Amino acid sequence: MMHPRQLRQQIHQGLNFGLVLASAFMFWKFLSVLTSSESPVVVVLSGSMEPAFQRGDVLFLYNRDNYVDVGDIVVYQVKDKSIPIVHRVMNEHHIEYTTSAQQQQQQQQQAKSSGSEYSPLVHTSGGKQLLLTKGDNNPVNDLGLYGRNQGYLNRDDDILGVVKGYVPFVGYITILITENVYLKYAMIGFMAISALLSNEE
């Protein structure tokens, strides 16, 4: 039977490796919550945005602005398609939901009863922004990349974030790991070994 000290040492070594993974994951989620983006850092995988971005560039996204401007470069992910796409916004539409006449009357009465001098003038109860995108290096817009019967991207549902910064070519290592299975396993193995040996100095 294993001695209690040995057992603790083995758990400790396993934990060292677990904590490396846990910390990396929690830091990723922290960035995710901070930027309100599901994927706050992405790597450019294709040349569709050349010359602005090259394959391998790392992009930093921010998704806390309510609206996206025409000309912004956004990263979007269409439902049922796993790979996010980095393209520029070419066109946008606002759709505002107006309240019914009855709701307007109720709002005005509430304003009067609460002693407010002004009646509410804004009749919108919310809205959404629809976007059309295109890769700078592509001859046509992205309609063909969207889902079936989807004419626009929905700002709230499809956009992962607006590009706010980038680091050139650093993401090539990710591309290599993604495209080469053996390199991926070698990296995981290297991480595991370095975590296990970190206490052996």
Partner 1 sequence: MDLNLFFIFESLGYVESFSLIDVRLALGIGCCAISGATFYLDKHSEFKESINLVAAAIVLYSILASVLWGWSKFVEKNIKFVGYKKSQKLIFKSSANKTDNLYSYEIKIGDNEPIIGSIEYNKVFNENGFLDFEEFKGYLTKEVEKIDKKKQ
Q: Which residues belong to the active site?
A: 48, 87, 142
Part of the chain binding partner 1 (CB under 8 A), chosen from 5-13, 84-92, 123-131, 133-141: 5-13
Spatial contact of 143 and 136, defined as CB atoms under 8 Å apart? no
The residue from 11, 95, 176, 197 that contacts partner 1 (CB under 8 A) is 11
Shortest distance, position 51 Cβ to partner 1, whole Å: 32
Alpha-carbon distance 156 to 124, whole Å? 17
Residue number, 18 or 189, with CB nearest to partner 1: 18
Check binding of 188 to partner 1 (CB under 8 A). Answer: no
Residue number, 30 or 97, with CB nearest to partner 1: 30
Check binding of 4 to partner 1 (CB under 8 A). Answer: yes
Check binding of 32 to partner 1 (CB under 8 A). Answer: yes
Check binding of 25 to partner 1 (CB under 8 A). Answer: yes
Spatial contact of 132 and 142, defined as CB atoms under 8 Å apart? yes
Task: Please state, as a whole number, how many other Cβ atoms lie within 10 Å of the Cβ of residue 4.
Answer: 8
Question: How far are the Cα atoms of 9, 25, 98, 107 from residue 118, in angstroms, in the given order?
Answer: 71, 50, 19, 11
Q: CA 26, 28, 31, 36: dihedral to nearest 10 degrees?
A: -100
Binding site for partner 1 (CB under 8 A): 4-5, 8, 11-12, 15, 18-19, 21-23, 25-26, 29-30, 32-33, 36, 38
